Structure 1
Amino acid sequence: MTRHIIVGSTGDIGSAIHAGLEGKAEIWSFSRSQTPDYDSIHHFLDLSEPLDASAVENIFKDIDHVDSLIWCPGETLFEMLEDTPLEKVDAQYNISLRSLITFIKVLLPKLRKSGCGRIIIITSIWGRHGASFESVYAAMKGAQEALIKSLAKELAGTTITVNGIAPGVVEGKMTSELSQEDQAFLIQELPQSRFVAREEVMHAVAYLLSPGARSVTGEIMNINGGWYT
């Protein structure tokens, strides 16, 4: 049985990935407070706090293998660095890095048993190029990219690949919260004059999960419509 782990399964991108995989595999999903719209074995976890590795191990203790870990939680933080409380920095670190590393450490033995294990991390265009008023968020996403490239080298001798996807502005809850004026201004900045559809990210995930991508590792796929290329 194919088994995928989706962490951050109720956000715009996570939900689209979940929808695309529903019915094709056994899905284990994780989110902080919402229940997924699609069928899965679901667990609530607050990733903004330090995760107890033994608690994560206990969740997966009865399964022998995992075919993919798809990491897509995220929490926006829009404010100047000098005004950012360290507690918010800690939360960003826990969501983007510490919790991710905890999951990877726990799941690596099970991913090795897959024979075609995949680690796919949804990063951000701001991790590639930086963003004013989002320095902390961008820094954590940049650190994810370094982890992807480093871990891909560590695991190159195995059947596990490690890749990232860096979307640009994705249509969904966050963009819909912007005023019509702000949305129009932002669209003027985008070469394709449109937001990225969530399903486009799902298609990239599907490719990275496929046998045809077994030699693709350590890569960051840009899905930004030509923005910041």
Structure 2
Amino acid sequence: MKFALITGSSGGIGSSTALKLAEEGWNLYLHYHTNKGAVEELIHKVEGFGVEAIPIRADLSSPREVGRLVESIFRLDAIIYCSGNSSWGLFQDQTENDMDEMINLHVKSPLLLVQKLLPKIIEKKGGIVMVSSIWGQIGGACEVVYSTVKGAQLAFVKSLSKELALSGVRVNAVAPGVVETAMMSAFTEDDKHSLYDEIPMGRFAQPDEIADSIQFLLSSKATYITGQTLSVNGGWHT
């Protein structure tokens, strides 16, 4: 019986990952912040596979709330950190509060979360997958803060994987390009078509395609893969 924690499970990538793992028999801790309705709907779907689903609410833009999440977990084989949001605009217009929120959500909270849950993960020789971004690899204009925190996630993966390798714990990341999720709702159709033209495959990724990569990294087919970032971007900026 395996248990996985998925943060940001109400989002497109998190919910798709939950369904794929549930189909394989994983029991799930489903973290969310505000979208309770989406998680309740997800639980109904997940339970259709005969597994247990436990909702946990926490605001991970506040590191103080990491403890609430940790206290709800009694057994753990995997952590999938999908929580995140973007920050658009010129760097000179970003406020200190904007920066703090992004750093907390994408860097400080995941570090604290993983640190506190490591004893459980080491006991099970489990796995950790961080959902980063293509911008963490190459940087993006008008997304300087977002690119910075996503790059920090990749450095965390590289470093922690070396520290935990002899414990049998694998730590990896996926770096999606553009994914057809609610995060893209602010874009006009013209904006989207301009992006299509830049991507060699001519389309955005679907959330389940990113979930497939996460599922692979946690599977028995990836037992010698650690410290890696799997780019899932349709050939964009490679």
TM-score by length of 2: 0.91
Q: Whose helix fraction is larger, Structure 1's or Structure 2's?
A: 2
Separation in structure 2 between the aligned mates of residue 58 and residue 49 of structure 1, nearest angstrom: 16
Runs of 4+ in 1 over 6 A off after TM superposition: none
**AA of the residue aligned to 2:60:** L
Separation in structure 2 between the aligned mates of residue 130 and residue 86 of structure 1, nearest angstrom: 20
The reply on whether 1:205 has 2:214 as its aligned counterpart is yes
Separation in structure 1 between the aligned mates of residue 186 and residue 67 of structure 2, nearest angstrom: 38
Deviates further, 196-205 or 133-142: 196-205
Q: Deviations over 1:164-185 (max 9, x none)?
A: 0000001122224321111111
Tell me, what secondary structure is at the counterpart of 1:51? helix
Answer whether contact 2:66 2:109 (CA < 8 A) is retained.
Answer: no
**AA of the residue aligned to 2:184:** T
Tell me, what secondary structure is at the counterpart of 1:157? helix
2:105 to 95, 112, 127: 95
Q: Deviations over 1:36-92 (max 9, x none)?
A: 1322201111111122554344222xx2x3110000111110011111010010000
2:55 to 26, 42, 45: 42
Q: Deviations over 1:185-204 (max 9, x none)?
A: 11111111111111111111
Counterpart for residue 55 of structure 1: 68
Separation in structure 2 between the aligned mates of residue 146 and residue 211 of structure 1, nearest angstrom: 24
Once the two structures are superposed, the pairs formed by residues 1-229 of structure 1 within 5 Å of their partners are 1-23=1-23, 24-35=25-36, 36=39, 37-39=41-43, 40-52=53-65, 54-60=67-73, 63=74, 65-115=75-125, 117-229=126-238
Q: Deviations over 1:19-46 (max 9, x none)?
A: 2122522100111101213222011111
Answer whether contact 1:166 1:221 (CA < 8 A) is retained.
Answer: yes
Answer whether contact 1:22 1:38 (CA < 8 A) is retained.
Answer: no
Separation in structure 1 between the aligned mates of residue 69 and residue 32 of structure 2, nearest angstrom: 13
Answer whether contact 2:176 2:210 (CA < 8 A) is retained.
Answer: yes
Separation in structure 2 between the aligned mates of residue 190 and residue 210 of structure 1, nearest angstrom: 29
Tell me, what secondary structure is at the counterpart of 2:231? strand
* RMSD, aligned CA: 1.3
**AA of the residue aligned to 2:80:** I
Answer whether contact 1:28 1:41 (CA < 8 A) is retained.
Answer: yes
Tell me, what secondary structure is at the counterpart of 1:155? helix
Deviates further, 176-185 or 117-126: 176-185
TM-score by length of 1: 0.94
Tell me, what secondary structure is at the counterpart of 1:22? helix
Q: 1:228 to 1:46 in 2, by over 3 A?
A: same
Instruction: State how many pairs are aligned.
Output: 225
What is the CA-CA distance between 1:105 and the residue it aligns to? 1.1
Gaps of 5+ in 1: none
